[in-house]
Chains A and B, each alone.
Chain A
Amino acid sequence: MRTSSFQTQQVITPEGVSFSLILATPLSRFIAWVIDFAAIAAMATCVSSLLAILKIVSTDLHQALGLVAYFTISIVYGIWFEWNWRGQTIGKRLLRLRVVDEHGLPLQINQVIIRNLLRCVDMLPSFYLLGGISCLLSKKVQRLGDYAANTLVIRTPPPQEIDFSQAMSGQFNSFLQHPHLAARLRKTVTPAAARISLQALLRRNDLTPSARLGLFKSLADYFQQEIEFPEEVTQGLTPEQYVRNVVDIVYHQRAKLGDGKRAAHEHQRRTS
């Protein structure tokens, strides 16, 4: 049921819980690297400016320390940030990427060092070409350094607010006038059918009109075959309304039998 354009890595915890990590795409990793490259250049410039005071003592000393500082920053940058920011550098944090162990565990210091030192091979011949090709060919989108250090770069998208209001619109549900049928429907409907119906309602605006009509017609027909509600409650219902009533019954526990009488009473009150 889950569709995603991203590659994932499945992890099963010792407690038996399974979850998937969304792997970062080579493009997002490249953009993160460009940001990191700019950050390294900025840091090196700052250090060089600070070291400029040494020119008073010796220009040679200033140049020497500037050279060593740039080299050290370019090597230590990734190691320091990934270790202290739990798998993230500035670029990765901005793009919500994170380096993790292949088993979803946090990184060990040796892993961080190895994956960063092996960058020099991934950068060959230039612009991370070898690393990029490795990412494209690898099932886990790993560059060579990741491969040697057993690491993955994953996406950590921001948590999304979950909105059920579209499916559970709170509209009157005529099926609840027959609580015994509603109860039977809850018992009969398979999780797969319920899942498809809920998704169809949540995504109905993404469908073309003809596809929308066809999908809800098929679903309504399916549910009608499963449980037949009396004609008086289904009369005038569009297939979409029919499916929404079904989903309401299946997912909305409080609207079940006990509330059914209240719903019937309310319906009577409204019609009178």
Chain B
Amino acid sequence: MIIDLNHFLEEERPIWQELEALLNRLDTGIGTRLDLHEVERFHYLYHRSSSDLAKVATFASEPDLLTYLEQLVARAYGEIHENHDRRVRFTPARWFFRTWPRTFRKHLSAFWLSLAVTMMGALLGAGAVAFDSEAKEIILPFDHLLGTPSERVAQEEQAKIDRLSGGKGSFSGYLMTHNIRVSLMTFSMGLTWGLGTIISLFYNGAILGAVCLDYIRDGQIVFLAGWLLPHGVIEIPAILLSGQGGFILASALIGRGNSQSLKERLRSSWGDLTTLLGGMGIMLVWAGLIEAYFSQYHEPVLPYSLKIAFGLFELLVLVVFLGFSGRKGDDSPTEL
């Protein structure tokens, strides 16, 4: 059968134009909603145009017409299966107190792996500084950490002026954006089957280990704890969370022991990944504020005991929150 194109066009073009106008309306108006009659009409127009496409593809020979109908049907197909209006009730409080900690616990093994890699890096960093005097300069990328710890402590404690005066806000902003960027990179490196995530976590661990050992060896444990704990107990777990995300992504790519297809595995990980990354962002904003406005002040301005107590309190809250918040009904699947 060969269709009469002129007659076919004459008869069907109004249908296509009506569908196109409806699609344009939906496309340009954010939040445009159709009433029941329009939805029924839209459904009819989509089916009629799909049928026309099938006819043209089988019986006619007009590439422009075929392309036009394919685009029209593709757009309508997308709209028919539109999910913008499928109301996902996103309640920030519910997400914060229930979804996020439950997602964290759901992938606890990835978090432990993240922690283990960081610890290995820390051991290597500490070992390198302990056994090689030149290692410190290679491992530590920050100039202010290259001198001896006791010199720095003396300098900080004797400072008469607030060196961050008038710059705490921008310093805080820099810390937030920089740390989020680094964490996003650690997560994204999960695409390299987790190898990049391992390298990133290991390197962060190595810096942390080298700094800690340097201060401990110099007898500045109290200063170190007072300086690092207030922001570090949030910042370091946030980076571990991004590593957790990276390992979830890597696990979806590798798919060991999972019978789902690659696409299905990736699809099922999206929700959990966005939740973990959202949580990571909140933690790093908090850590940035604390580091700029609290951590940089030492005795005699702020007693170390207060800073250490505050840091330990934060850690306790974090552990309780991630470990126990939203535990009721923990067996049911994670929802957005």
Interface residues of A (CB under 8 A from B): 1-3, 11, 13, 15-21, 58-61, 63-65, 67-68, 71, 84-86, 100, 102, 104-106, 108-111, 113-114, 117-118, 120-121, 144, 147-150, 156-157, 159-160, 162, 164, 168, 186, 189, 191, 194-196, 198-199, 202, 250-254
Chain B residues whose C-beta falls within 8 Å of the C-beta of A59 in the assembled complex:
166
Instruction: Please give 18 more A-B residue pairs, beta carbons under 8 A apart, in addition to A111-B270, A251-B6.
Output: A13-B50, A17-B54, A63-B173, A67-B177, A104-B74, A104-B77, A117-B184, A118-B188, A120-B188, A147-B191, A148-B191, A150-B263, A160-B67, A162-B9, A162-B65, A191-B59, A195-B60, A202-B62
Q: How far is the CA of A49 from the CA of B120 in the complex (A)?
A: 47
State whether B62 touches A159 (Cβ < 8 A): no
The 19 sampled A-B contact pairs (Cβ below 8 Å) are A16-B54, A19-B70, A60-B169, A61-B169, A67-B174, A110-B274, A117-B184, A120-B184, A148-B266, A149-B266, A162-B9, A162-B65, A162-B68, A164-B6, A189-B2, A191-B1, A191-B2, A196-B61, A202-B62
In whole angstroms, what is the CA distance A150 to B266 when docked?
Answer: 8
Query: Which residue of chain B has its CB nearest to the CB of A192?
Result: B61
Q: Are A117 and B61 in contact (CB under 8 A)?
A: no
Are A17 and B73 in contact, with the CB atoms below 8 A?
Answer: yes
Q: Contacts of B58 on A, CB cut-off 8 Å?
A: 191
Residue B27 contacts which of A86, A111, A144 (CB distance < 8 angstroms)?
A86
Q: Is the interface of B mostly helix, strand, loop or mixed?
A: helix
Are B71 and A159 in contact, CB atoms less than 8 angstroms apart? yes
Q: Which of B85-140 contact A (CB under 8 A)?
A: 88
**What chain A residues lie within 8 Å of B177 (beta carbons)?**
67-68, 71
Q: Which residues of chain B (33-66) have a CB below 8 Å from chain A?
A: 47, 50-51, 53-54, 57-66
With A104-B74, A110-B274 as known contacts, state yes or no: A1 contacts B83, CB within 8 Å. no
Contact partner of B180 (CB less than 8 A), chosen from A18, A65, A71, is A71
Complex CA–CA separation, A121 to B190 (angstroms): 10
Query: Can you name the residue of chain A whose Cβ is closest to the Cβ of B4?
Result: A253
B267 close to chain A: CB less than 8 A? yes
Of B3, B60, B78, the most chain A CB neighbours within 10 A belong to: B78
Whole-angstrom CA separation of A150 from B82 in the bound complex: 17
- A60–B263 alpha-carbon span in the complex (Å): 47
Q: Does B7 contact A (CB under 8 A)?
A: yes
CA distance A86 to B9 in the complex (A): 30
Asked whether B22 is an interface residue with its Cβ less than 8 Å from the other chain, the reply is no
A164 in contact with B5 given A64-B173, A149-B270 (CB within 8 Å): yes
CB within 8 Å for A195 and B174 given contacts A64-B169, A106-B84, A168-B6: no
User: Whose C-beta in chain A lies nearest to the C-beta of B165?
Assistant: A60
Q: Are A199 and B61 in contact (CB under 8 A)?
A: yes
Chain B residues within an 8 Å CB radius of A109: 88, 274
Within 8 Å of chain A (Cβ to Cβ): is B30? Answer: yes
Q: Which residues of the partner chain B approach A84 to less than 8 Å between Cβ atoms?
A: 30
B172 part of interface (Cβ distance < 8 Å): yes
Q: CA A19 – CA B180 in complex, angstroms?
A: 41
Q: Which residues of B contact A71 (CB under 8 A)?
A: 176-177, 180-181
Asked if B210 CB lies within 8 Å of chain A CBs, one says no
A117:B188 contact, CB within 8 angstroms? yes
**Alpha-carbon distance A162/B81, docked complex (angstroms):** 29
Partner of A65, one of B70, B72, B173, B270: B173
Given A64-B173, A148-B249, A13–B63 Cβ distance below 8 Å? no
Q: How large is the interface on B (under 10, 10 to 19, 20 to 34, 35 or more residues)?
A: 35 or more
Which residues of B sit under 8 angstroms from A18, Cβ to Cβ? 57
A residues within 8 A CB of B9?
162, 164
B207 contacts the other chain (CB 8 A): no
Q: A121: which B residues are within 8 A, CB to CB?
A: 185, 188-189, 191, 196
B20 within 8 A of A: yes
CA–CA, A178 to B57, complex, Å?
31
- Once A17-B50, A60-B167, A68-B176 are accepted as A-B contacts, the answer to whether A160 and B68 lie under 8 Å apart by CB is yes
Instruction: Give the distance in Å from the alpha carbon of A111 to the alpha carbon of B84 in the complex.
Output: 13
Q: How far is the CB of A142 from chain B (nearest CB, A)?
A: 12
Q: Are A108 and B270 in contact (CB under 8 A)?
A: yes
In this assembly, does B168 line the interface, its C-beta being within 8 Å of a C-beta of chain A? Answer: yes
- The residue in chain A whose Cβ has the minimal distance to the Cβ of B270 is A110
CA distance A61 to B171 in the complex (A): 10
Nearest to A168 among chain B residues (CB) is: B6
Cα of A246 to Cα of B30 in the assembled complex, Å: 50
Q: How far is the CB of B31 from chain A (nearest CB, A)?
A: 9
Look across to chain A and name the residue whose beta carbon is closest to the beta carbon of B273: A114
- Considering the chains assembled together, what is the distance between the CA atoms of A148 and B266 in angstroms? 6
Known pairs A1-B61, A58-B169, A159-B72; A117 contacts B2 (CB<8 A): no
